[in-house]
Structure formats: C-alpha cells, structure tokens
Structure 1
Amino acid sequence: MSHSPASPAVSDANAGGMRLAGRVFYPVVALILLFVAATIYAPEAMSATFNATMTQIVHYFGWYYIFITAGFIGFSIWVGCSRYGTLRLGPADSIPDFSRFSWYTMLFSAGIGIGVIFYSTAEPIAHFHAAPRGMASDTIAAARYAIHITWMEWGAGAFAIYIVIGLALGFATHRRGRPLTIRWGLEPLLGERIVRGWIGDIVDITAIVGTVFGLATSLGLGVMQINTGLAYLGVADSSLALRLAIIVVISLAAGVSVLTGLTRGIKWLSNLNIALAAVLLIFVFTFGPTVFLLEALVAQTGYYAAHILQSSFETDFARGDVWQSYWTTFFWAWWIAWGPFVGTFLARISRGRTVREFALGVLIIPSIGIFLWFGTMGWAALHREIFGAGGLGDLQTQQVVFAFLSDLPLATVSSVLAMVLITTFFITSADSGAYVVATLSTGGLENPPLSTRAFWVVLQAAVSIALAVAGGLSALQTASLVGGLPFSMVMIVMCFAVVKSLRGEYAAEHQAAMTVTGSPRLS
C-alpha cells in the first residue's frame, strides 16, 4: 500500500487553528454565502429559476436518472458477489472500528434521516389517492402499488448510490493512504496529477456545496415537522419565531454531538435512533391492525419481487413526466445529491470491513429496515383510509403521521415518541453532515479540528435561518437536486475507478500471498 502526502493547498488559517484546504474551502464558503444572499434578496426569482431548470432536467434526463440508479444497484450486487469481495477497506489484517450494530445504525441514520418519519405514511397515502400510470385511485391495486413504489424509492436505489462513493473513497483512504475527499476516489482512472489539480478542486467544491444545501434543506423540512408536531400536541402554535428557535436548539445539540466525535455522540445518537424507531414500530404493529399488517406484508413481499425489475426501469414515456418528476426522478436526484455526504461518512466508518460486507450489507440490511418500517407504517395508514375514518389524504405531508397516530391508543405518548425520534434523526443528520463537510474542507482529515466542525454547524444553522426568513427553502431544495446531475457523471467515473482498484488490489494481495507461501509469483 502506497502512501502520499495530504491533499494540496492545505494550510493553517487564522487564530482559531482551522486547517483549511484553501483552494476548496474559500470558494465553497463564497458560493454558499452568495446563494443565500441572492435567495434572501430575490426569493421568488431564485425559486422560479431553479424550478424551471429542474423541469428541463427532468424532461431531458429523467430516463437517465432511472437508468443509472438501476445500474448502480446492479454494480453493487456484482461487486459484493465477485471474487473481489474478500478484499478489505484497509490492510488485509485490519479489523472494523465499530461493531456491526453501531455500523448499521450510523449508516442508516445518516443515509435516510427524518424523512422516514413522515414519508412512511404520507407517501403511500399520496399514491393511494392519486394513483399513477393510469391506475384507478382509492383501490386495493393502488394501495399495493403505493407501498411498492415507496419501497423502491427509499430502499436499494438510495443505498446503491452511497455504496459507489463509499467504495471509491474507502479504497482511496484505507488502502492507498489518500486523504478522505471525493477527488481521490477518481485517482485510479484519472491519475494523481489530475485529481490534485483544478479538476479535483471542482469535484470537491461541488460535493461540499451539494452536501451543505442538502443538509440545510433537511434542516428546513425537519423544522416544519417538529413545528407541526408541537402545534398538534398543543404545546405551541406554528410560527416563524418557533421555527428559528428550533433551528438554534437543534444546531446546539448537533454541535455538542459532533464535537464529541464519531465514537461517542454520533454513534450513541445513531443507536438511540434505531432503538426509538423499533419502539414506535412495535407500538404501531401491536396497537394497529396486527393481523392485517402481517397479511399485507407477506402479500407485498411477493408483489415487490414480481414487479421490482420492471418498475426499476419504468419511465412515463407515454404519459408525460409530471408524476415521475415529483416522485421517482426526484428521489433518485435527491439521493445522488446526498451521495457525497453519506458516501464519505460510510467510507470513514467502514475501515476494516470487507468489500462483500460493505456492498451487500449496505444494500440489504437498511433495505430490510425500510421494508419493515414503510411496510408497517404505510399499510397501517392505508388501513385507516380503506376501512376506517379516512381523511389523511386531505392533510399536509407533515401532518399525516400525527393524524394517523391519533387513531391508536396512547395517542399523546406515541406522538411525543415520534417527535423525539424526529429530533434525534434531525440531530444525527446535522452532526454527521457537519463532520463530513469539516473532513472535506480540510483536505481529507479523518479527525478534523473541533473549531472546523463547530464552524460548519454554525454555517449550516445560519443558512437554514436565512432561508426560513426568506422563504427560500424551495429554491435551495431544487438547487441541491440540480447539482445531482453533474455529480451523477462523477459517480459513473467512480464505478470504473472502483473496478480498476479492485483488480489492482486483488492482484497485489494475491501475489503477496503467493510470495509468502513460496508459490510462484503471478504473472
């Protein structure tokens, strides 16, 4: 394994001691502040511009998002099942830094976040009442397809995207000794000279900007969800002042977590997320329509297996692309925009894992969790619509989960539990995101300085506050999705880089083993 010095243009800056990759850090901060200023100054014009851009991207590249995401899933399966699966993300004798349970909880919490709380009920309800692709709405067929498409959009596709980036960076960092930044995942194909230059700078800048925008958007969505929950429980009325207070409190909590590092705050919060989610899931399963849920989950598994290949390549070529732009294409672009953040985070926490464990574990285990969570919550909400009081389709997205829980026993307790779960997922996304951005902005330091981590927590909060005041969340969300298009092309290059790395590392490891045992060298 060869080692190289840290990424270029890394310097000690200011009295705070932040070690900054200057050619990346300063342009990133300037771009973020410029975007926020423009959004505050002209929110409607910015929103209109980005929405128009997104419409064009969906129209001309919707098929592309569908195709490459299916390709990333196939790539992940191939890598995990190939002969290269025995290679480790690190030296051959390395052992994992985290237990399997903590590893799974961290990758799930970072990869999905707060969306699982309200989309798990709201998205199936939306598809049930407005069935896509010529289906009759408000039917059992629409309900089955609603759960199916939700499983597809939140399952393997998202994590396959993260696997591509995580493998590329894991090999670069843990086997070749490169800094933990996006550019070095391309080195096997482009060469060291190119990735050290301006092309590498652009790749890292794009990754950091997309991550900050995606996190700020998630922060905004989470704030609306918490605000709605507080209003539903009668604690406080919905208001801008309350939303700003929530951002400040959550950011403070995220700051404390990120300053304690991976082995404490982030790991503990991720474990807590999964524990609380399991409690809420068991609660709904126990006090909801239990027998119906068992029957529905068994039947849905067969439906998914029978239709997943077709739906993975489905495009609305005969009906226009409006529905797909709101859902499948939106989610694929969204996961790609989040790819630099989650992929870098996964690479950081996966030292010592085998390629097979990484590729298949990241693909399968979180997908099973998604199936259980979305299947239980989604079918329980649909049961109310089909056989019960109904009315969930008339509510806003962030209201559905609380209205659904109100039908169950101990409604206040379960709603408070949902609020706590939203908050812990919220904090975990914010702190792990700040950790990753601090790593990328310092040229790949795996343990960036505390001052740098704190800086990014503060900047994320400032961006979220500015956009909450200006009402620019829609523009920011669309901007992060637009940024996913160029980065998807980087990911395709990464796939080829990963294959080249796998072949080279496998040959070198096999040759070393032959030499140690006295067998002839491989030619």
Structure 2
Amino acid sequence: MTTPRNGTSSPSRSSPANPRDLSAGQYRLGDPVVLCLSVGFIVLFVGLSLYDIDGVAGAIGAGFAWTAKALGSYFQILLLLTFFIALGLVATPAASARIGNTRTPELSTFKWVSIIMCTLLAGGGVFFAAGEPIYHFVVTPPAFSAGTEIEAGTNSAVAPALAQSFMHWGFLAWAVLGSLTAVVLSHAHYDKGQPLQPRTLLYPVLGERVMKGPLGGVVDALCVIAVVAGTVGPIGFLATQVSFGLHELFGVANNYLTQLLILIGLGAVYVTSAVTGIDKGIQILSRFNIFLALAIAVVIFVFGPTLFMVNAFTQGFGEYLTSFFAMSTMTAQSAPDWWMQWWTAFFFAWFIGYGPLMAIFVARISKGRTIRQMVLTVAVLAPVATAIWFTLLGGSGIFFQLTGVIDLTEALSNFQFDVATLTVAQALPGGTGMAAAILVLTTIFVATTGDSMSYAIAVVGAGHDDPSPLVRAFWGIAMALMAAILLYMGSGQISALQQFIVITAIPVSLVLLPSLWTGPQAALAMARIQGITSLKSSVPGEA
C-alpha cells in the first residue's frame, strides 16, 4: 500500500487480515490451536485445583519465586530498553508516519485517550492506587532504606513512597504495553496485511514458519494464557473487594453468594461491551469511567488535603526522576527476596504478560494517529496521569496515616489492599458516598479490562480485527466463570493464578524482545511508504 503525503491511500493489497479472506469456520471459531491450548489451560488449571488445591498453589508459588529471583533483572532490562528506544524513535522523522496510512483518526482524541487509560491502567491501578503508596510509606522501599535519613511513617518518607509507586506504574510499565510492539503490529497489519496476532511480532525474525502451522498457534496461545491469568485475577479480586465494601458500607452479607452476584453483574457489563465493539460498548464504558474518575479527582483535590497533595506530587515525581535508575535496577542482591518477588518483579512480569495483546489493542484503536502521538500518549502522558491519580488516592491516604486519621499498618502488612482502598475512601470528603463512587469506578475499570481483553483474545484467534461477537462473548464468559470457580475454592487460588502470569512472562518476553530492533525498523518502513523519508529499513520483505 502506498500513501502519498497528502494522506490519500491507494487500494490495499489483498490481506489475510480481511475477514473475507478467511474460511467461514475460522472466522467463527478462530485458530483451533489457540482455542484448544487456551481453553485446555483453563480446564486443566481448574481441574488440578479441584484435585489438589494445595499442590497447585505450592507448585505455582515455587515457580513464581524462582522466576522473580532468577529473571527479575532480565525483565527490568527489557522494560528499560523498550522505554528508551521508544523515546529515541519519537525524536526521529519516522515518528511522523501515521498508523494505517490515513490522516483521519477513527476515534476522537478524548475517546482514544479514554480507552487507553481505562484499558491499560485498569482495575489493578485503581486497586493499588490507595494502598501501595501507604505501604511504601510505612515500610521504606529498599532503594531508599540504606544510607539515608528516611524514617518510615514520617514526612521524610512521603516522597520516596510515592516515587516507588510511580516507578511500578510509570514509564517502563506503560511503554512495554504498547509502544514498540504496537508500531511493529501496525506496520505488519495495515501495510503488509498480516494478522493482528502475537506471532506477527516474531515474523521479522522467524519468517513464514511462525505465521503458518502449529508454532504460531503455540505463540499466540501462550500470550492468551498470560492475559487470561492476569485478567481473571482482577475480576476475582474485584468481587471480593466490592463484596467487602458493600458489607462495610451497607451491611450486605460478605459471602460467596454476594461475590457470585457481583461476578454475574460484572460479566454482563463487560461481555455486552465486548460484543458491541470498540465503536460502541468499549468506548462508551471507557468514556463514562473517565468522566467518573475526573469527578472523583476534582472532589478529592478541592476538598481533600490539597496543599499536601500538591507538595507530595511535586516532591514524589522529582524523586521518581532523580532515583529512576536506582529503583528500576534494584535487584534481589540489594533488596530482600520477598520484596522484589511481590513488588517490582511481580509488576514488571505482569505488564510483560499483558504486552502482546495490549499492543494489539493499541494498534487497533490508533489508526490515523502518528507513531509519535501513539508512543508519547502511551509511554509518557498516561504514566503522568497515573502518577496524579496515585497521588490523589495514595497521597491522601498517606496524609490520613501521617495525621492519625487512619492506621493501615497492620492491614497492609498482610497485603489487605481491599481494606486499604475502602478505609482511605471513607476518610475522603463525602465518606460513604465517596467510598461507593470509588467502588463503582473500580468495577468499571475492571470491566474495561474484561471487555478489551475479551475483544483482543478474539482478535488473536480470528487473525483480524472484526472477530465474531460470539467468540468475544465466549472469552468474557469463560474468564468470569473461571473467577467464580476459583473464588468458590478460596481467594488463595485467585492469588495462585495471578502469580502464574509471572511464570508465563518468560515465554511472552521472548515474543516482545525482537521489537527492540524491529520497532524502529517498522517505523522507518512506514515512513518510507508514506514518503516521509527515503531511507530503507531492514525489515524482511521490505524493498
């Protein structure tokens, strides 16, 4: 496809990404290898959990601990390189190339940013936004505990606590979710007609053999399994958090029946959203959630500890920038194993596990945007917005902890982040009303993850960006059903599944790795096609 600089496009070459080029059976059901392996994982995990619940949890826990300790540094380096190479790409003329060879974005800027924020920040960011900064406030992070005058629980610990939270949910995390990989997929899909599948990320390295046959199916299935493990966790934990919140606020019974009803309601929302698609359900849900988040943010900022939050954000973000490398390169040799395992290594592996399917989603919604707009929005703008959100909730929580309004030391020592979120919410202006609003916000954030990942998994199976609504619904229902079964066994199995994403990050990271060099090459190829530069890339198959 060739696009003149005026933005008009010549007719596209025939592409397997077009649903009409696929057999009716594949269009309906998707790749049988991906379907069988992914569904097989769900059945196997649930079956083994029913047979030996302690054995499954123990085996995953051992694999989780080994992966975090042995490969934590590798994950850190991968994220660092992804971020800085993406920033370097932004500074080049090639970053002016447009996704999909069109100057007209499919989504307005507000809708586009809303979907990115809701999908990538998701329930995890909201779930940890209140509790994580307070945890680092009462337990000084290793990067700040040695050779400093920082005393946990005092004013000197405020900036380091926020800085550590910003690092976990900041530039590195967002960049691996949709910068270089999204560029590779955008070029492959819109310019070369290749499918929106994780295997496409390996095409520049392995060629046609990964696109056809079982190898590509295995690659796609591994990435789907990682996302299923990472998404079922927030879905299950949301049910426990909302059930706990309803009990504390309104006296509703906090039991499995309440959790099951919450799961049914949540599943109905995000399955409906996924079935109606990006142009309807997904963007409507995301836009509503952004408006709700903005309303909550304004109330907290105006009626909360405003001056404290302004100072805390300024100092915390400054500390984040000045201590960036100290925090992002902290290893198990200079920090306790348990700390790296449950914080930095866990979060980084979690983001890696989501990487390929998030990149598919970002590439799909960014048509008409420049590479520069896409990378800066995902890897810079979104992390700054996340830091502000963490300051509003977590910074307020630190203020209340510091002044004695609340005491979450014991709850956070036991990693009870649902308790932390509700406690902070009740201490905010509006009390019960604010707590209820934050529960709704968290629910919709998780729903936006459920709908976008149901859609993305269906895209992977189908190989094009218009998968069957029935397949989208199937994956949404499957994840909700899996969460319901695991919650019935006990929340420990939800935790075990969430730990499993750290293990799946090993193969998934190998899928992301080539984008460190194929991302810039793909951008250069897009720029050459669009007449922005005459330089040639070395991507296989390019002239």
Same fold judged by TM-score > 0.5?
Answer: yes
| Structure-2 change in CA distance of 1:335 and 1:246 (3 Å) | same
The change in CA–CA distance for 1:87 and 1:237 in structure 2 (over 3 A counts) is same
Query: How many residue pairs end up in the alignment?
Result: 511
Residue 126 of structure 1 corresponds to 135
Matches of 1:356 and 1:272 in 2, distance apart?
27
Contact 2:69 2:332 survives alignment (8 Å): no
Measured at CA, do residues 216 and 13 of structure 1 come closer, stay the same or move farther in structure 2, by a change above 3 Å?
same
Partner of residue 406, structure 2: 390
Gaps of 5+ in 1: 515-522
Q: How far does the alpha carbon of each residue in 1:105-146 deviate from its partner, in whole angstroms, 9 at most, with x for none?
A: 101111111123231110111111121323532222322211
Please point out which of 422, 431, 434 is paired with 2:451.
Answer: 431
- Checking the alignment, whether the CA contact within 8 Å between 1:186 and 1:497 is kept in structure 2 is no
| Range with greater deviation from structure 2 (133-142 or 276-285) | 133-142
TM-score, length basis structure 1 = 0.93
- Shift in Å, 1:476: 0.8
2:380 maps to 1:364: yes
- Among candidates 248, 270, 276, match of residue 260 of structure 1: 276
Alpha-carbon spacing, 1:319–1:370, altered in 2? closer, same or farther (3 Å) = closer
Matching residue's letter, 1:98: L
**Cα separation, partners in 2 of 1:40 and 1:301, compared to 1, 3 Å:** same
| Distance in 2 of aligned mates of 1:112 and 1:245 | 25
Output the amino acid matched with 2:202: L
SS at match of 2:287: helix
What CA distance in whole angstroms lies between the structure 2 residues aligned with 1:342 and 1:469? 29
Could you tell me which of 53, 71, 77 is aligned with 2:81? 71
How far did 1:6 drift? Answer: 4.9
Q: CA deviation at 1:474?
A: 1.9
Q: What CA distance in whole angstroms lies between the structure 1 residues aligned with 2:498 and 2:183?
A: 27
CA contact (8 A) 1:288 1:380 kept: yes
Please report the RMSD computed on the Cα atoms of aligned residues, expressed in angstroms.
2.2
Stretches of structure 2 that go unaligned for 5 or more consecutive residues are 2-12, 536-542
Q: 1:428 and 1:82 mapped to 2: Cα distance?
A: 33
Say which SS state the counterpart of residue 458 (structure 1) adopts.
helix
* Structure 1 stretches of 4+ moved >4 Å: 6-11, 511-514
Distance in 1 (alpha carbons) for counterparts of 2:241 and 2:350:
19
Out of 331-340 and 226-235, give the one that drifted further.
226-235
Q: Which residue of 413, 427, 448 maps to 1:407?
A: 427
Over the matched positions of the two proteins, sequence identity in percent amounts to 28
TM-score when normalising by structure 2: 0.89
Q: Which residues of 2 match residues 150-299 of structure 1 at below 5 A?
A: 150-162=165-177, 163-299=179-315
Q: Which moved more, 1:464-473 or 1:493-502?
A: 493-502
2:124 alignment partner, one of 115, 124, 128: 115
| Aligned partner letter, 2:362 | L
* 1:56 equivalent among 66, 69, 76: 66
Contact 2:16–2:22, Cα closer than 8 Å, also in 1:
no
Deviates more, 1:469-478 or 1:134-143: 134-143
Whole-angstrom CA distance in 2 between matches of 1:147 and 1:513: 45
Larger mean CA deviation between 142-151 and 197-206 belongs to 197-206
Letter of the 2:172 counterpart: G
Counting only pairs closer than 5 Å after superposition, residues 454-493 of structure 1 correspond to structure 2 as: 454-471=473-490, 472-493=493-514
Correspondence for 1:5: 16
Residue 138 of structure 1: SS of its match in structure 2? Answer: coil
1:45 has 2:64 as partner: no
Structure 1 position 11, deviation (Å): 4.7
Give, in angstroms, the shift of residue 104 of structure 1. 0.7
Give 1:517's aligned residue: none
Distance 1:13 1:277 in 2: 42
- Please state whether the residue corresponding to 2:30 is helix, strand or coil: strand
Aligned to 1:452: 471
Instruction: Work out whether residues 118 and 400 of structure 1, in 8 Å CA contact, stay in contact via their aligned partners in 2.
Output: no
Give 1:512 deviation, angstroms. Answer: 9.2
Is the partner of 1:114 in helix, strand or coil? helix
Structure 1 residues 18 and 312: CA distance shift in structure 2, 3 A: same
Q: Are 1:500 and 2:514 matched, yes or no?
A: no
1:42 CA drift (Å): 1.4
In the alignment, the residues of structure 2 paired with residue 203 and residue 226 of structure 1 have an alpha-carbon distance, to the nearest angstrom, of: 35
Alpha-carbon displacement from aligned partner over 1:395-425 (angstroms, at most 9, x marks no partner): 3210112212322342121111112111211
Q: Deviations over 1:168-224 (max 9, x none)?
A: 212211221211111112223322233323321221111111111211111112112
Please say if 1:143 is aligned against 2:158.
Answer: yes
Cross-structure match for 1:28:
38
One-letter amino acid of the counterpart of residue 461, structure 2: S
CA displacement at 1:29 relative to structure 2:
1.4
3-state SS, counterpart of residue 391 of structure 1: coil
**Residues 5-27 of structure 1, C-alpha deviation per residue, up to 9 Å, x if partnerless?**
3599965449xx82321232222
Cα deviation, residue 440, structure 1: 0.9
> 1:228, CA displacement in angstroms?
1.7
How far the C-alpha of 1:435 sits from its partner, in A, is 0.8
Q: Single out whichever of 433-442 and 160-169 deviates more from structure 2.
A: 160-169
Once the two structures are superposed, residues 2-51 of structure 1 have per-residue CA deviations (whole angstroms, 9 ceiling, x without a partner) of 5443599965449xx82321232222212221122112221110010011
Q: Aligned with 2:514: secondary structure?
A: helix
Match for residue 9 of structure 2? Answer: none
